[in-house]
Amino acid sequence: MEYEFRRNRLDGTVFANFTMEHEVFGRWFAEELGADVSRTQQIVASLSQLLSGSANHWRDIGTDLTIDADSEQVRIFVNAIDFDEEHDFEEGMGLYDAESEGYCGLEDFDKALKSWLVFIQE
């Protein structure tokens, strides 16, 4: 999972761009966390409990996106979309949902989150 963090020098807005299949992570970082150092630190602490084995599951329901984590992986998804719903598409066609739902390993996500924390503190 590759990512890049940027800041608008005019107004201080922060952005996160993640590679394909992980675009929703960039949206979560920018929209749900933003430059909120305290909230980011709280999430780092929650994930460290998962990494250490002292917790089995953690979830945070945000304004538009929910993050769901266990001892192995992290899932981020849009609150308003039902992914279990059946859709009838022509053969070879389907929904592109990488901007609406994504998965990654817990350790990879923890690394990205800690990098985000350093970035927003600069």
Q: What is the mean pLDDT of residues 107-111?
A: 97
Give the pLDDT confidence of 14-66 residue by residue, as tens digits.
999 999 889 999 999 999 999 999 999 999 999 999 999 999 999 999 999 99
Give the pLDDT confidence of 89-101 residue by residue, as tens digits.
455 544 445 568 9
Strands (E), 1-122: 3-7, 14-18, 57-61, 65-70, 73-78, 101-105
Q: Which two tokens stand for residue 118?
A: 């350093």
Q: Which two tokens stand for residue 40?
A: 């980011």
User: 117 vs 35, 37, 88, CA distance in Å?
Assistant: 8, 7, 42
